[in-house]
Structure 1
């Protein structure tokens, strides 16, 4: 028998979408899988809808996030991982769809090349026709995966990789439950930091649904801005020795942009959060000129409600 694959899906109030997602899994040409749905506290008919599918296919399991776990998709993913029995893991979202041969094609490749994970292309769609759209990120291949990923030269989302569970366990790789945005960026970045090897299938095997309430395309909030900032700061600060100059430059420019966005919307932020972002960013700037520009950026938005010129000049120095 071929290896068991655990598909882990966090969900919240997606009863109108999750059924299509699970059906795309039930239609897989690869048969040895389990689908673990972890509910983050839905108030709709998600539980009822999923249980109706469980009655048809016992490979599907439904859990509710334990009350003592952090609310959010990341805690749901981690809990689902703890419940999983598979040798391989595919994290997935409750509004997206799988190509019917996704699991089979990726497992066949992994059985052949013995990489830690395999990644495929992702097609973005809106409306009813999921096979028509555009590639989310065209480039997946790199000779320097960590730095190219951090600099956005290559990219993929959580749904795309099929990952060897043993490789995740080796480095205790889990999702950061404190993050509300950029958790995929941070998680995959840590995978590449630990030099997990990967192979590629240059074919769209994931169909990413684009809508206002999607995990990928949802609204931006202050906790999400802070999370995006913290995810990038982790690599600049804690993993700096592994970064190329280009990757560090790209991350610093993003930190400056995120801090500027926070300043523009400062009424939505706690004063301490803005202060923490300022101090962290200041500590990563190497010259007094850069620190002066950062101070000017902060003061300009505080008193004049503008300061884009300082952001542009500061980014140009990175």
Structure 2
């Protein structure tokens, strides 16, 4: 039987936290639920303490200085403290469905499989949150990939190098990974990234580890969409958006430099990084830098770089 550590970063999630924890405790495969409380300003810490008293499988940790360090650092601390052979993640405002580990029970019988990913559904908790989400991501009810895949096909798909559109993302809530695989490749979340640290982690994971799709046509977990979802607050191609995209692609670029990536993959990562780096410049400096970049590699014009904002 699988022995799983579920890691839940907790920040201002008092309204949702207990439902999240209970959804993980329903599975006998779950050896422990690790709550990493990140200096919330609401009642989250008190709720964490109460839940740990009521449920022996729930463990509570805070950062050594008891300060706020973000979701990436909180997940890293959870991985460090985990004792299960398998690691899963769950956001504190989300929850697992009863089929959460159905695919894993059979797929992990193949010893070469390091990780399994599935589909995540969406639950709208507020009307404002629904409108903000749909204005940016349409009314897609599943966060998933478009077809089954495993091994290097997952990495290629996430970078957009497959003949069919694979999909750019699968959600951490539906990922199960062997802890030994994370340790073998020293894989952690990038603490510099306050957003996109999940996408950054997943792409690196797909390169180093053998991942396989599980249930991708129906949800195994649900995301709660409400007024305070950070990802919906960012205006696309605004200075804030471009800066966060730059940090994300620069993280992948720095990671990829010493690796034997295929030239097309390495160039794609570099050009995305360079495009969003240019987007932060203004005026004459921006135009001269862009011209120099185009002369060096015209393919930069095929990236998602935009001439809007911060001219």
Same fold (TM over 0.5): yes
- The one of 74, 98, 101 equivalent to 2:99 is 101
Q: How far apart are the structure 2 equivalents of 1:79 and 1:146?
A: 26
2:172 matched residue in structure 1: 158
Could you tell me how far 1:56 is from its partner in structure 2? 2.2
- The one of 191, 207, 227 equivalent to 2:222 is 207
2:246 matched residue in structure 1: 229
Could you tell me how far 1:140 is from its partner in structure 2? 5.2
Contact in 2 for aligned 1:37/1:63 (Cα 8 Å): yes
Q: How far apart are the structure 1 equivalents of 2:42 and 2:67?
A: 21
1:43 matched residue in structure 2: 41
Q: What SS class does the counterpart of residue 20 from structure 2 fall into?
A: helix
- The one of 145, 148, 158 equivalent to 1:141 is 148
Could you tell me how far 1:33 is from its partner in structure 2? 2.1
Q: What SS class does the counterpart of residue 212 from structure 1 fall into?
A: coil
TM-aligned CA distance change 1:135 to 1:248, over 3 Å = farther
Contact in 2 for aligned 1:25/1:100 (Cα 8 Å): no
TM-aligned CA distance change 1:147 to 1:291, over 3 Å = closer
Q: How far apart are the structure 2 equivalents of 1:19 and 1:255?
A: 43
- The one of 242, 250, 254 equivalent to 2:261 is 242
Q: How far apart are the structure 1 equivalents of 2:123 and 2:269?
A: 28
1:11 paired with 2:10, answer yes
TM-aligned CA distance change 1:282 to 1:96, over 3 Å = farther
CA RMSD for the aligned pairs?
3.7
Q: How far apart are the structure 1 equivalents of 2:157 and 2:266?
A: 7
1:91 paired with 2:106, answer no
Q: How far apart are the structure 2 equivalents of 1:138 and 1:63?
A: 33
Could you tell me how far 1:31 is from its partner in structure 2? 4.3
Q: What SS class does the counterpart of residue 124 from structure 1 fall into?
A: strand
Q: What SS class does the counterpart of residue 35 from structure 1 fall into?
A: strand
Q: How far apart are the structure 1 equivalents of 2:220 and 2:124?
A: 16
1:177 paired with 2:191, answer yes
Q: Mapping of 1:1-318 within 5 angstroms?
A: 2-28=1-27, 30-67=28-65, 71-103=69-101, 105-114=102-111, 115-127=113-125, 134-139=141-146, 141-142=148-149, 144-151=153-160, 153-154=166-167, 155-202=169-216, 203-219=218-234, 225-236=242-253, 238-239=255-256, 242-243=261-262, 245=264, 248-249=267-268, 252=271, 256=275, 259-260=278-279, 262=280, 285=293, 287-288=295-296, 290=298
Contact in 2 for aligned 1:181/1:224 (Cα 8 Å): no
Could you tell me how far 1:144 is from its partner in structure 2? 2.3
Q: How far apart are the structure 2 equivalents of 1:60 and 1:289?
A: 53
TM normalised by structure 2 equals: 0.75
